[in-house]
Structure 1
């Protein structure tokens, strides 16, 4: 799944996203799984936002957290995998931003970081097994400070060469995610809702595409 630069491994549908042993094993398969580059949609949507406090849900090996910290953000990066968090700490230290990145282990079905944040980023936090994604995203919205932003990015489906890949998981549209958030009327502003088509290559090196959904909302009060 990770031919483009998001930081979240794809579990088989039979594996719960809250399985620490599974994710530690997944990250232990190699010294680095992902590209080390930040998610393109995070870069697009957060580049113009003034730095403050950010929460990166499912930070993986830390590319998004490091990118934000380099731009002056104080970042709380969270993941269920201790292996991933160890690599994120190394990445932050190597980038010279370790003092601006607070890494915490959380199984979002059971615990969630404390505090309010000017940016809460949930990129490719997909729904595997019994993972209660909608409830977790509602909790994420509750962690957004007044004037702050919630950014939710997810796949719209499989890649062009395998459009039915993991179709049993279900990939909600931005409008469906917005309804699932159950945001209080008049308290939020919808900034972005739509699709983003990214060019990438298939496993054989041939050109292809994958479409991602993006929802960006700002808390007004």
Structure 2
């Protein structure tokens, strides 16, 4: 899907992915000391908004202008102390230019694109890390096609923890976690697959050395 396809999808319904943050984002990041965070392909901003509520200074971007506009509208409804921590941009994960100072956290959640684009986006995301920073990658796993429910049904945009590690090889990152995880799906917004079941996700968490 290109940016126009995503614009159409976001325009067709309110809160495609719901308002609650992803469960793996909450599991992995609850209690972490807040710093500067980047949410890559942030959609309507549910994870970025949660991070800001935890005290993070968050920049979120997406290549769908409609998604970014919705994130900005949601931000306007937040308390000032949360809204002031959020910055939104219309940008592309494959081409964005990270600042020289880097981020303490870079989140890439459910970026489902063909392998070549994924590798480019993930390496850009890694380049955005500050020394000591964490890169958290979450996605629909390839095994979800046969063992899970919902998510994209095109194997070309699905991947595995090993694919993420291969994409990021040679960048000097330390692997903290690289695994498949199972998520209960009960008809949540944005998910195909009927009345409920278990989805297979991938979760990879890496860290850059403190320098």
Q: What is the CA deviation profile of residues 105-133 of structure 1, one whole-angstrom value per residue up to 9, with x for unaligned ones?
A: 112233334341000000001114x8611
Whole-angstrom CA distance in 2 between matches of 1:161 and 1:143: 32
1:120 aligns with one of 81, 106, 109: 106
Gaps of 5+ in 1: 1-14
Whole-angstrom CA distance in 1 between matches of 2:194 and 2:150: 17
**CA RMSD, 1 decimal:** 2.3
Whole-angstrom CA distance in 2 between matches of 1:159 and 1:39: 22
1:154 is aligned to 139
Alignment of 1:73-84 (within 5 A): 73-84=56-67
Partner of 1:50, secondary structure, is coil
Deviates more, 1:27-36 or 1:76-85: 27-36
- Structure 2 length-normalised TM: 0.86
Q: Does 1:175 align with 2:162?
A: yes
Alignment of 1:1-221 (within 5 A): 15=1, 19-96=2-79, 97-115=82-100, 116-128=102-114, 132-156=117-141, 157-158=144-145, 160=147, 166-184=153-171, 187-201=172-186, 206-220=195-209, 221=211
When the two structures are aligned, how many residues end up with a matched partner? 201
Deviates more, 1:32-41 or 1:165-174: 165-174
Gaps of 5+ in 2: none
Partner of 2:15, secondary structure, is coil
More helix by share: 2
Deviation of the 1:53 alpha carbon: 0.3
Deviation of the 1:93 alpha carbon: 2.3
